[in-house]
Every structure is written in C-alpha cells, then in structure tokens.
Chain A
Amino acid sequence: MRVHRRIIIAVLSCAVLLGTSVRAQVNSGESIPDVTRTIVLTNARVVQAPGQIQERTNVIIRDGLITTIAPDAAIPFDAIEISADSLTVYAGFIDGLSHTGIPEPKEQPNRERPDNPAYPPDEEAGIQPQQDVRNLLDPKDKRITAMREAGFTAAHVVPRGRMLPGVGAIILLAGDDANEMVYRGETALYAQLAGARRMYPGTDMAVIAKLRQLYREAARRQKIEQLYAENPAGLERPQYDPVLYAMFPVLDGDRPIFFNTESVLDLHRVLAVQQELGFPMVLTGLTQSFDAVDKLKSANLPILLTLELPKEPENSEQEQPSDSTEAAPTDAAAELPQIAEPSYNADFRVTSLADVAAEKENLEARREMAYKAHVGNAGMLESEGLTFGFSTGSAKPGDLLGNVRKMVEEGLSEDAALAALTTTPAQILGLTSSMGTVEEGKLGNLVVTKGSIFDEKGEIRYVFVDGRKYEIEPPKKRSEKTADADVNPAGTWSITISTPGGDMGGTLTIEGSDDDWSGSLSVEIEPGALPLEYIVLDGNELTFSFDVPDMGTAESSLILDGESLNGSFEVPGLGNATVSGTRTSGPEMSTQHNY
C-alpha cells in the first residue's frame, strides 16, 4: 500500500489524538473530519453484481459512498490508495436475518413461574411485538466483528426471544454507538414457533393458536380505533394495548412478518397460518425445504435461506489394514484399498440381527445422503427457479464462507450464491438503491478478496463498511494433522474465561496421549472439577465438551500454540465465552509419541 505523506501524518496524529475512532460523522457535531475519508482501490477486479465484472478498474470511496468506478479514474490528492492489482472487489454482504449486535440475555436466576401460567404476562410469554431492536443494540457485541470478518457489512437484526420477539432494523456492521449503526428501523416483525417455558403458549400448536387470537383481536381493535377516530360520539373509549397495537402495521400490510422456520414441518405450519390469516410474510430459515419445493413455489413469498448447515457426519472407517507405524508411508498408501463411497440400498433387509456392520453401513450411507441433501438445498432451490437470500441466524460467523462454498460444491451456482449474499437480501429488505451492488452513489460497503470468494483459497483482505476500511487478518492457519504432530495438550493450563458477565479464572487439566485423552475443568464459581468428554485433538485444535450443572452440555474449541491457548466455550443459553490460557505444568512426555 502506498500512502501519501500528508496522509501518514494525518493518520498518525489523529490516531494519537483520538485513539481508535477516526471517523467524523456527517450529522454529528464534529463538522470537520480529522482524517481523509477518501480511499481508492486501484486496478481491481470489480464484481459489480453477480455476473457483471469489470477488470482493472479504480474504485473511489469518498465520505462513505462509492463515488467513482472507472478504469482511468484520477486518484484524488487526499486519497488513501490501496493497490488492488491482485484483488477482487465485491459488494458488501447483507445478512438477511440474525441477532448480530444483540447480546444474549444474561443468565436469569430461576425466575418464578407466573402466578397463573394459563394467562402469563405477555412479556414473560415471549410476546413483545412492540419491542424495538434499536433499543437493544450493543456495538461491542463480538458477533459484529466476526460477521464483518466474514464479509458482511450490513445485517437485518431482530431481537432474541420466543414467539414474537419484536421489530427489526437494518444495521451497518461498524460503529461506535448503537445509533450510528442503525441504517433503518421498523423493518419487520420477527416471529418464530417458539413456545414459552411452563406457561401458555408452551407448544407450537399453542403458539399458532395464540397468533390467531392476537391477529384477529388486533383486527377488531384496529377497526374500533378507526370508528373512534372518525367520530368518538357514542362509542366507548378504545383502550390502548401495546401488543395488539403493535400488530396494526402488519394488518395494514406495511410491515411484513419475518417468520423463522427450523424444519420443513415449521415451514408447513407457518405457511398454513399465514394463508389462513393473510399477513405479509418473508420466510426465513428454511432448513430441509428440499422436501417442500412445490409448496414454496406456489406460496411465492420472499425467502431467506439460513447459512447454517449440519455437521458433516463422521462415518466409521470401512475395513482396511490396521495402521502400522513400521511400514513406510508410501508403501502403505499404495496398498490401501480404495474406500468406496458408502452406497445406500433402499431395499436393504438384514439377514441376521448379528449383521450389525452391514446395517450400520447402510444407515451411515443414508445419513450421508441426508447431509448432502441439506448442503445441496440451496442448489436445489435454485434449480427449481426459486430466488433466495441468505440469513445467518445462529450460524457461527467463522463457518459462513465455508458453508457457502460447500453449497456451491453441491450445486449452487456462484452467481446465485453471490446474489443470495448481496442483491437478493437487498431486494427483500428494500435496500437496492443503496446496497447490494458495487455502483456509484451506493454506500461504501465492499468486500475485497484475494482470489475468488468461492474458492477455498480465497481470502478476505479488506472489508469496507460505510466507507470505513477494515483490514482483515487471514485466519490463523491450523496446522495440518500429521503423523508426527508435535502438539501435545497434556498438562495443566491456567485459563481465563471471558463472559458478558465478566472474567472468570479456571484450570484445565488434560492427561493421556494420542486418541486417548482425558481431563477436567475447574472454574472459580463452580465447586469441584467438571469432567471433559469427547476430547479430540485435530492438528492444533483441541475440542471437547463438558456438562455445566443446570445448563446443559458446553462445547469447547481451543487452538493450541506452544504454551498458550485461545478459543471459546459455547454454553447453551449463554452463548460464547472466549478462553485464553497458558500452560503451568506438563506435558510430562516427549512431544513425539509414536507407539
């Protein structure tokens, strides 16, 4: 990168003066920006829209907007110049639906069951259509950074909750305070088939019944309001109800319900109630929708497909010679039989109950087919002529690009994938005039990559949000798993667990060797040690799970780097806690352990 000398001085002095924030806002009190807001990407390959590519072009971003896209565009004197000869510029990705920027609620001490579970307060029952997500945004939420690193520049975010968690907003994935992030509010009402705990509505069928009740009664209340507005004489005063009144924009057709579905059964149920009541709707989630393509087609609704994919099943190794460390690796490889793809036999009937191996093989093949169907869902929808955007839901940001690539591998075209990340969510969310493509006059939301975004080796180098530049460090390369891996997790580790509620110290103990690890975790607030289960070392990544009393099973993923480790614990209901630590003793054994 070549930077004009003046700019260097400006940047340096500014960085000293202001610390991290180098942005001046158009609408803020600071009238004169302290640093240039002009950036030029030179000689870039620009994917303006899916299938629409310009080679060797300059892209100028000024004051948060894309101002010029032209091969010979003069470089403004005040521009930070990024030589993009080997880089590709895409429109910033738009997340159709997620809770990005909305922290998970802190652990609630055992709340008392409402006095009458048949008629609980709406808020406790998860019925809060009046809640505005803009009041819940936390610019420090770690998912914002993680999503940005995955190429996302804007997101449609909705509150967390149960049946009707509230109203969403479009946010830009950058900003130092919540208001700065908001691009547009009051986008949609979020809904899901998620019952309340131990109170009405507890089940999916009760959520559906409750939705009917709310919708029909809201329609009646709206009519009364209209009558009263026309002429109050002779009418009893209509009484305000925050929940019912929050449904009015939906009744008017002005505010769609973004209804999340987590299975094809959800899909059928949600479509049925939507067709019965007739509210405007965008379907989201759509896991397993390959089983309901015709219904999706005839429903003809905007759809957002989740980028969450199931874990790839681990099939048992089929019979092969047992590993021998004596044999030279090259010879062993030559002699290994080709492991055939497991093939499913639909007519399969075991001849004997003892023939477990054959039955298991068949079941694994079936499971493999199911996995492929899930990964191939996007491609199937495309081949059926359905247009969809992507939502990220609760998928891990680090998995998103990989999941898109898997979908492309299983039949989704790259253009459709890019459209699902950019133009289609822009259409569904009403953002086409400002986002979704690389065009002059649009927001400076860009993803700059080395190599194709769909290539496994493609890397995101920069992300621009609202004209603000973020340089993305390539993710830490995990060392390949090799026979002589010198990573040994054994020993005692002193760790720090960072949660939204504060930091917590702990001790992690790992014993054993190779595929036979055991261990325990003790943390400050929990008496006794928690035993670790399913400990797997893959390259330098150590994964395990442990049961947290009263919470469920937590999953852990830690990257080992010599005597230090970094990673996260995922605790059900609490979300991610970041973990860092150092080894205080061990490993006792040599790092070589071939037996």
Chain B
Amino acid sequence: MKFKLLFLSAAFIFASNCLAQVPTGDVLVRGGTVLTVTNGTLENTDVLILNGIITEIGENLSAPQGVSVVDAVGMYVMPGIIDAHSHIGISNVNESSAPVTAQVSVGDVLNPYSIAIYRALAGGVTSSHVMHGSANVIGGQNETIKHRWGLLDPDELRMADAPRTIKFALGENPTRVHGQGSNKRPASRMGVEYVLRETFAKAQRYQEAWAQYEEEAKSNPRAISPAYNGQLEVMSDILTGDILIHCHSYRADEILMLLDVLGDFGVNQITFQHVNEGFKIAPELAEFGAGASIFADWWAYKFEVYYSTAYNAAILTRNGVLTSINSDSGELNRHLYHEAAKSQKYGGLSDTEALSLITINPAKQLGIADRIGSIEVGKEGDLAIFDRHPLSIYAVNQKTIVDGITYFDIERDADDMRLSVDPESPIETTVLHSHDDTHQCLHEGALDLYDFLESN
C-alpha cells in the first residue's frame, strides 16, 4: 500500500498547488544513447526535464539542485511510445444500440484504476488514443490519455487540450451489429455509405438552422432556437474540422468510398485504422493526406481481413502515407517496439522510420506532434529507457517517464501494482507443479495442473 500512499500524497500536494493541473516532475536522464526520432541518434547524451518539459539535450548537463538523476549509461532513451488505437483505461467501449452515436464519448468513462495502463507503461507506452468501439458507422468520441499511473482522478488521465477525435467504422462490424443484429440500416457496405451521407447531410442542415436562428436573434429577441441535438453538434464539429476522424476499415473499396464521402462534405482530416488493404491504395491515401494506423502482421480473423501483408507499413511509408503501428489490444501494446521492428524485416525501413511508426507518426495522426512523439527541447518529458536498442528482439524496457515523473521502473515493479482491490473478489490460485504442495494448496478454487495432467 506504500506506493499508493506515495502517489496519493504526491497527487494531493500538486492538487493543492494548482487545481486541474496534473503533477509534473524534474529529472536528468544521463549518458544514454538518445533516439530523438526527429533529430537523429545522439550518443552519450543527457536529457533534462524540468516541470515535465524537456529543457535541454546535450552532453555533460548538470542537474539543478534537487533534480534526481537517472543513470542511462549503456541504455537507449527513446520518446515515450504512442499507441494510436487502444481501448484500455475506459469502462465502456461500444454503445452499440445505434448506428450513429457521435454524442457519446469514452472520455466520460475513463478508468484510472485499469491495470492495463500500468502494463502499457511497462512496454514503454506513455500515451494511448483510447477509442470507442467499431460497432457503429459513426461511433463515439475518443480520448487521448497519458499513462499517469497512480493518479486516481480520471481527469488527470486526459492529455489536456489534445484535439478531439471520433471513431468511424466501415464493413463487417456495423453491418453485422445493426443489419443482422437489429434488422436496421446498415445491412450492407452500401448502407454504410448511406448512413454516412445521411448523417453528414443532417449535420449540414443543423448548422444552417442554427446560423439562421443566430441571424434572426439579432433583430428578434423572441426568436426560437432549433432543438438541441447532441449528436448533430458533434457531427457539425467534424464538418468544421474541430474533430479528427479515425475510421476502422479494412478493404480498399470502402476506404475509397469514405474518401469520396468526405470530399463531398469538405472534410479532410482522417486517419484510417487497421487499413489492411492500404497497400493497394497507398497513392490515393497519400494524395488525400489521410493517415494509416495499422497492425504489423495481424489479420485473417474475419473474412474482410484476409487480403493482408506484413509489408503494409513499408509500402504505405514509401508512398508517403503518414503511417503508424497500433495495438488495439491490452497485450500487444506492451511490445509495440517489436511490432515496429517487423517493418524492418518486411520492407527494410530504417531505424528512424521504424521508430517513427510508434512515436512521431501517431502523434501527428492525433494532432499532438508539437507536444510529444520525439525528444526535442520544448516537448513534454515522456521517455522510455531500454537496456538495448528498442528495435532489438532482446530489448527490455527499464523505465518509463511521463511528464518528468517515473511511472514505471523495472526495479520497483512489485507483484501487486493494482490501485484498487475489490474486497469481495476471490483469490484465484493456479499451482503449476510441485506435487508435494498439493495438500496445502489444493483449496477451493485451486486448479492443480500437475494433478490434472497426470490424471489425463
């Protein structure tokens, strides 16, 4: 419990200093090989973070008084990894009751107690784009979070002022959920396009109605405003470019369809998620300026995901598409650096290109590249420190720093890092071997695999 008390008291001190501001720290990371991503590799270099911001990068920096020093000699310091597609740290994923749910937001149900956040930190991931699910053509709004493990107020998980984003989804998921599940539109890919066009058209009419009302209200104090519609408010914000679209998609044809729809409605900020057939339409994506956030080599889990290749990242990158690699998983996010390295085996991307897939590129896709995604003076102090080059299969993350605060340290990684325990939860035990122990350990709920295997 000590660690939690520490976190709590730290949080309290900062909260009382300045409300609504998250705690930041000071640290000097000394002597590491710094993989800046945007400015090459710097050997034997120090990185100084003050108040959560990188203030100096150079050799033989001195730590101001009271600033702790992390010895990174022989280690590799990279920007904190950014996962552009995740569902960790939220209590709800899909509001699957309707094909359009733009009005809901996973930002309303953040869960700072989710152990997946700590596990992500262990893999060097400092930020996640936590997304609504893909049940709906137009799903809910997403939230960009920073992994400040131990802060218990959900607001402290938010990356303040990060651009708003929303989830769209094409193909099998929305047609299965609404078409087959509820016998509603969309039941086909054509229906998906219909829902998109219909909803955008409604949003345009909503904007017009409000513009008309605002005009009339200037001269008529008794003017009556249009009915409030939370869903169309959000759709309007997409039309005006205040919300970035992140669209679950696999097939080339439906991706081109959405580009057409967006072109017709004057929307130009979109990142396609998964994009397994992106390699077929890389020039079109590049021309539109659309991003692609993909899996390294994950496919064939349903029919629309059969036509895939591990060269996707390299082909997209070489065609000038802004590309990132994401996890969409509370397990895969712990080794995104391995996923990035696969682009070197399949396609021969350079170290910097490969690292960009999990750092500066996702930052650009989320509209936060001015703040994180590379090691530069003025950026936020989010770092991962590996014992070997992070693109090596042998690399193990040692420390993860967010806003200058070390939130993961392999030396202080106790078995039980949960922030909250349900007092009514059972304690499951699984005994892997040790036949002699069975008389002590075989209590209710225990599964003795040794016995089990022997008896089978």
Interface residues of A (CB under 8 A from B): 113, 116-119, 196, 198-206, 208-209, 212-213, 216-217, 220, 224, 227, 234-236, 264-265, 268-269, 272-273, 288, 291-292, 294-295, 298, 310-311, 313, 316, 319, 344, 346-350, 353-354, 356-357, 359-360, 362-364, 366-371, 374
B223, chain A: closest CB distance, angstroms: 10
Question: Is B98 touching A117 in the complex (CB atoms < 8 A)?
Answer: yes
Question: Is B101 touching A350 in the complex (CB atoms < 8 A)?
Answer: no
List B403-426 residues whose CB lies under 8 Å from chain A. Answer: 412-416, 418, 420-425
Contact for B108 among A205, A235, A294, CB less than 8 A:
A205
Contact for A356 among B154, B155, B422, B437, CB less than 8 A:
B437
A193, chain B: closest CB distance, angstroms: 9
Question: Is B15 touching A265 in the complex (CB atoms < 8 A)?
Answer: no
Question: Is B109 touching A118 in the complex (CB atoms < 8 A)?
Answer: no
Question: Is A213 touching B230 in the complex (CB atoms < 8 A)?
Answer: yes
- Among listed B89-97, B119-127, B348-356, interface-contacting one: B89-97
CA distance A354 to B109 in the complex (A): 38
Question: Is A216 touching B427 in the complex (CB atoms < 8 A)?
Answer: no
CA distance A353 to B440 in the complex (A): 16
Question: Is B1 touching A367 in the complex (CB atoms < 8 A)?
Answer: no
Contact for A209 among B103, B182, B440, CB less than 8 A:
B103
List B166-185 residues whose CB lies under 8 Å from chain A. Answer: 182, 184
Q: Which residue of A lies closest to B432 (CB)?
A: A353
CA distance A264 to B224 in the complex (A): 40
Q: Which residue of A lies closest to B434 (CB)?
A: A354
CA distance A366 to B423 in the complex (A): 9
- List, in ascending order, chain B residues with CB within 8 A of A295's CB: 153
Question: Is A369 touching B441 in the complex (CB atoms < 8 A)?
Answer: no
Question: Is B92 touching A203 in the complex (CB atoms < 8 A)?
Answer: yes
Question: Is A209 touching B431 in the complex (CB atoms < 8 A)?
Answer: no
Question: Is A367 touching B92 in the complex (CB atoms < 8 A)?
Answer: no
Known: A206-B101, A208-B108. 5 other contacts (CB 8 A): A113-B182, A117-B182, A209-B101, A272-B154, A370-B423
- List, in ascending order, chain B residues with CB within 8 A of A203's CB: 92, 94-95, 104, 109
Give per-residue flags for B209-244: 1 if the beta carbon is below 8 A from chain A beta carbons, else 0.
Answer: 000000000000010110111100000000000000
CA distance A234 to B223 in the complex (A): 10
Contact for A347 among B95, B228, B414, B423, CB less than 8 A:
B414
Question: Is A294 touching B12 in the complex (CB atoms < 8 A)?
Answer: yes
Counting CB contacts under 8 A, is B302 at the interface?
no
Counting CB contacts under 8 A, is B261 at the interface?
no
- List, in ascending order, chain B residues with CB within 8 A of A117's CB: 97-98, 182, 184
Interface residues of B (CB under 8 A from A): 1-4, 12, 15, 19, 91-92, 94-101, 103-106, 108-109, 111, 113, 140, 152-155, 182, 184, 222, 224-225, 227-230, 412-416, 418, 420-425, 427, 429-434, 437, 440-441, 443
- List, in ascending order, chain A residues with CB within 8 A of B92's CB: 203-206
Q: Which residue of A lies closest to B5 (CB)?
A: A346
Question: Is A212 touching B224 in the complex (CB atoms < 8 A)?
Answer: no
Contact for B415 among A118, A272, A354, A359, CB less than 8 A:
A359
Q: Which residue of B lies closest to A197 (CB)?
A: B97
CA distance A371 to B425 in the complex (A): 10
CA distance A264 to B111 in the complex (A): 10
CA distance A222 to B180 in the complex (A): 40
Known: A236-B224, A265-B91, A370-B421. A205 touches B15 (CB 8 A): no
- List, in ascending order, chain B residues with CB within 8 A of A234's CB: 222
A375, chain B: closest CB distance, angstroms: 9
CA distance A349 to B417 in the complex (A): 11
Sample (30) of A-B pairs whose CB atoms are under 8 Å apart: A116-B184, A117-B184, A202-B97, A203-B109, A205-B108, A205-B140, A206-B104, A216-B230, A220-B228, A224-B224, A227-B222, A234-B222, A235-B224, A268-B155, A294-B12, A310-B424, A313-B424, A346-B4, A347-B2, A347-B414, A349-B415, A354-B434, A356-B429, A356-B441, A357-B441, A366-B416, A367-B421, A367-B425, A371-B423, A374-B423
- List, in ascending order, chain A residues with CB within 8 A of B416's CB: 346, 348, 362-363, 366
A376, chain B: closest CB distance, angstroms: 12
- List, in ascending order, chain B residues with CB within 8 A of A367's CB: 421-423, 425, 427
CA distance A198 to B154 in the complex (A): 27
A233, chain B: closest CB distance, angstroms: 10
Known: A200-B95, A291-B152. A217 touches B227 (CB 8 A): yes
CA distance A43 to B8 in the complex (A): 51
Question: Is B427 touching A363 in the complex (CB atoms < 8 A)?
Answer: yes
Question: Is B228 touching A265 in the complex (CB atoms < 8 A)?
Answer: no
- List, in ascending order, chain A residues with CB within 8 A of B432's CB: 353-354
Question: Is A204 touching B97 in the complex (CB atoms < 8 A)?
Answer: no
CA distance A359 to B427 in the complex (A): 10
Contact for B433 among A311, A354, A366, CB less than 8 A:
A354
Q: Which residue of B lies closest to A295 (CB)?
A: B153
- List, in ascending order, chain B residues with CB within 8 A of A265's CB: 91, 109, 111, 113, 154
- List, in ascending order, chain B residues with CB within 8 A of A288's CB: 420
Question: Is A118 touching B437 in the complex (CB atoms < 8 A)?
Answer: no
CA distance A568 to B344 in the complex (A): 66
Question: Is A118 touching B97 in the complex (CB atoms < 8 A)?
Answer: yes
- List, in ascending order, chain A residues with CB within 8 A of B431's CB: 354, 356
Please give me the 7 A-B residue pairs with the lowest Cβ-Cβ distance, nearest first.
A118-B98, A371-B423, A203-B92, A370-B421, A200-B97, A310-B423, A346-B2
- List, in ascending order, chain B residues with CB within 8 A of A202's CB: 95-97
Contact for B3 among A273, A346, A349, A360, CB less than 8 A:
A346
- List, in ascending order, chain B residues with CB within 8 A of A199's CB: 97
CA distance A292 to B113 in the complex (A): 13
- List, in ascending order, chain B residues with CB within 8 A of A344's CB: 1
CA distance A311 to B424 in the complex (A): 6
Q: Which of B1, B2, B155 lies at the interface centre, i.e. has the most chain A CB atoms within 10 A of its CB?
A: B1
B179, chain A: closest CB distance, angstroms: 13
- List, in ascending order, chain B residues with CB within 8 A of A311's CB: 423-424
Q: Which residue of A lies closest to B103 (CB)?
A: A209
Contact for B105 among A205, A216, A360, CB less than 8 A:
A205
B370, chain A: closest CB distance, angstroms: 27
Contact for B154 among A268, A359, A360, CB less than 8 A:
A268
Question: Is A272 touching B108 in the complex (CB atoms < 8 A)?
Answer: yes
CA distance A205 to B227 in the complex (A): 22
- List, in ascending order, chain A residues with CB within 8 A of B111's CB: 265
- List, in ascending order, chain B residues with CB within 8 A of A236's CB: 224
Contact for A291 among B96, B140, B420, B430, CB less than 8 A:
B420
Q: Which residue of A lies closest to B183 (CB)?
A: A115
- List, in ascending order, chain B residues with CB within 8 A of A363's CB: 416, 427
CA distance A113 to B418 in the complex (A): 39
Q: Which of B94, B424, B431 lies at the interface centre, i.e. has the most chain A CB atoms within 10 A of its CB?
A: B424
Question: Is B429 touching A272 in the complex (CB atoms < 8 A)?
Answer: no
B380, chain A: closest CB distance, angstroms: 24
Q: Which residue of A lies closest to B136 (CB)?
A: A118
Q: Which residue of A lies closest to B422 (CB)?
A: A370
Question: Is A316 touching B420 in the complex (CB atoms < 8 A)?
Answer: no
- List, in ascending order, chain A residues with CB within 8 A of B98's CB: 117-119, 200
Q: Which residue of B lies closest to A534 (CB)?
A: B444
B175, chain A: closest CB distance, angstroms: 15
Question: Is B414 touching A369 in the complex (CB atoms < 8 A)?
Answer: no
CA distance A199 to B95 in the complex (A): 9
A116, chain B: closest CB distance, angstroms: 7
Question: Is A360 touching B429 in the complex (CB atoms < 8 A)?
Answer: yes
Q: Which of B97, B99, B113, B153 lies at the interface centre, i.e. has the most chain A CB atoms within 10 A of its CB?
A: B97
Known: A209-B103, A235-B224, A236-B224. A357 touches B440 (CB 8 A): yes
Q: Which of B2, B4, B98 lies at the interface centre, i.e. has the most chain A CB atoms within 10 A of its CB?
A: B98
Contact for B104 among A209, A316, A370, CB less than 8 A:
A209
A191, chain B: closest CB distance, angstroms: 15
Contact for B227 among A212, A220, A269, A291, CB less than 8 A:
A220
Question: Is A313 touching B440 in the complex (CB atoms < 8 A)?
Answer: no
CA distance A273 to B109 in the complex (A): 11
A159, chain B: closest CB distance, angstroms: 23
CA distance A508 to B182 in the complex (A): 42
- List, in ascending order, chain B residues with CB within 8 A of A310's CB: 422-424
CA distance A366 to B111 in the complex (A): 21
